Structure 1
Amino acid sequence: MCGRFALTATPDQTAALLGLAELEDFPARYNIAPTQPVLMVTAGVPRAPGSNLPDRQPMLVRWGLIPAWVKDTREFPLLFNARSEGAIEKASFKAAMRHRRALVPASGFYEWRQAGGKKGQPYWIRPRHGGLIAFAGLIETYAEPGGSEMDTGAILTVNANADIAHIHDRMPVVVDISDFARWLDCRTLEPRDVVDLLRPAQSDFFEAIPVSDLVNKVANTGPEIQERGEIGPEPEKVRRQKPSADDSQMTLF
């Protein structure tokens, strides 16, 4: 799962990673959350012959994909993540997997060690050697009942690698720079041709840094949320006990 991430690189650094001619200026963002606008990049349209730049297009997309067939968004869940294992066939994602694959630049992401079904210790998870990465993303343009259109998107996830598994069982798919062109090529490559890219990052690629619970609040957007925090104690496992005859009517099982 990936419910928060950060993009703190400069526009020039981000453009260089993604092979863009330029990007409009934007501030560092330390706590990007679902429903907020996020930067995604698609293959775009072909450039003029002789150009030495990829034909890629940056877009601001609402983080939370809405399929085109949804009638009432109030009754539809917020799809900010897409499980890569079923994205090719699942109705919510298969059109985007075929026609609108994207890259999502990031400096890293946040994850929480679960404790009794609740969010526990938060971690800032970043590339061990620094630098920018790009998540695998999907884009869907949703036509609202009033006639206006809204670009929406999701981040693909996969089973966590050894760096993350002790914190959470899922992690975002990281696309290697050498695979950017393949992932974005929706004109000649079908989903089955790029499914091999939907894999966990290599072991030791990420480092997980415990941080304070400041990141839990979307209103906290400064660099202090990435400062190292104390690691809380491991949550104690609650042992299930068989209900007695006196209290069995207060239980569901």
Structure 2
Amino acid sequence: MCGRFALTVSPEEVRELLGLLELEDFPARYNIAPTQPILVVIAGEGQDRGSNLPDRRALLVRWGLTPSWVKDPKEFPLLINARAETAIGKASFRAAMRHRRVLVPASGFYEWHRPAKETGEKPQAYWVRPRGGGIIAFAGLMETWSSSDGSEVDTGAIMTTKANRSMSSIHERMPVVIKPEDFSRWLDCKTQEPREVADLLVPAEEDFFEMIAVSDRVNKVANMGPDLQEPVVVERPPKPPRKPDPDDGQLSFL
């Protein structure tokens, strides 16, 4: 699952990596939450033949996808994530997978490790980012919902997949990361059908991310500063004392 993420790099870095001709300035965002606007990148309409200018554009959508066929969004669940394993066949995502695939630029994401109660461990938040920092692009889906009065709302979701081995120590799911060399294929909804890009919906390589324990302040939307990513020491519950073993060499008076 991906329930919070951050985009803290400069607009110039986003424009360069994603191949955008134009991108308005935006502030660093350290705690992007569901229902808030998120930046997405879509394929352009096509340049003139022979042009080498970028052919992608960026726009803001509400994080929480609403399919076009929904009558009342208030009575429909907030779809912030789409499972890669089932999105092709699921009614909520089928049209978006075929016609409206997008990229979601990010600096990383937050995830909660929630141990079983019997372990005695407390839930712990982690800041998950590429090793060495930088910018990545999540696989995303977009839908435009139209109300009865004619107004429209652009909405989006981030695709997730089964966690790789290192990430699974924290959570069973993780966002799908699209590599730069695959941007065009993922965004190409004209010639690339969903089944032809299914091979991109896989976990990131084992050493791609680093996981940094952070405070639980990230859980509150009002907290938006860079301090959210400062490392903290993970507290482990004390282990119960080991019971003496009669055969471990200790004297017994029984």
Query: How many Å separate the matches in 1 of 2:4 and 2:103?
Result: 16
Query: How far off its partner does 1:119 sit?
Result: 8.1
Q: How many Å apart are 1:158 and its aligned residue?
A: 0.1
- Take 1:145 and 1:36, find their aligned partners in 2: how far apart are those partners? 23
Matched, 1:227 2:219: no
Moved beyond 6 Å, runs of 4+: none
* 2:21/2:55 contact within 8 Å kept: no
- The answer for the alignment partner of 1:243 in structure 2 is none
Q: What letter corresponds to residue 163 of structure 1 in structure 2?
A: S
Contact 1:64–1:78 at 8 Å: present in 2 too?
yes
Structure 1, unmatched stretches of 5+, are: 237-253
User: Which stretch has the larger CA shift, 99-108 or 52-61?
Assistant: 52-61
Identity %: 65
Instruction: Tell me what 2:101 maps to.
Output: 101
- Secondary structure at the counterpart of residue 12 of structure 2: helix
C-alpha distance in 1 between matches for 2:136 and 2:154: 22
Deviation of 1:178 after TM superposition, in Å, equals: 0.4
Stretches of structure 2 lacking an aligned partner (at least 5 in a row): 240-254
What is the one-letter code of the residue matched to 2:62?
R
Aligned pairs, how many? 236
Tell me, yes or no, if the aligned pair for 1:163 and 1:208 is still in contact at 8 Å: no
Which residue of the partner structure matches residue 127 of structure 1? 130
Q: In the TM superposition, what is the alpha-carbon distance from 1:44 to its structure 2 partner? A: 1.9
Does the C-alpha gap of structure 1 residues 146 and 119 become closer, same or farther in structure 2, counting only changes over 3 Å? Answer: farther
- Does the C-alpha gap of structure 1 residues 3 and 91 become closer, same or farther in structure 2, counting only changes over 3 Å? same
Alpha-carbon deviations, 1:157-194, whole Å to 9, x = none?
00001221010000000000000000000011100110
1:87 aligns with 2:87: yes
Deviation string 1:181-211 (CA, Å, 9 cap, x unpaired) is: 0000001110011000000000010000000
* Amino acid of the structure 2 residue aligned with 1:212: S
CA displacement at 1:234 relative to structure 2: 6.0
Residue from 209, 213, 217 that aligns with 1:206? 209
1:162 aligns with 2:165: yes
Secondary structure of the equivalent of 1:115? coil
- State TM-score, norm by structure 1: 0.90
Q: Which amino acid aligns with 1:86?
A: T
Contact kept, 8 Å, 1:212 with 1:230, in 2: the verdict is no
Change (3 A) 1:234 1:36: farther
Relative to 1, partners in 2 of residues 1:33 and 1:234: Cα closer, same or farther, differing over 3 Å?
Answer: farther
Post-superposition Cα deviations, 1:192-241, rounded to whole Å, max 9, x if no partner, equal 110000000000100000001110101000000000012132699xxxxx
Deviates more, 1:115-124 or 1:174-183: 115-124
In structure 2, do the counterparts of structure 1 residues 217 and 18 end up closer, same or farther at CA, with 3 Å as the change threshold?
Answer: same
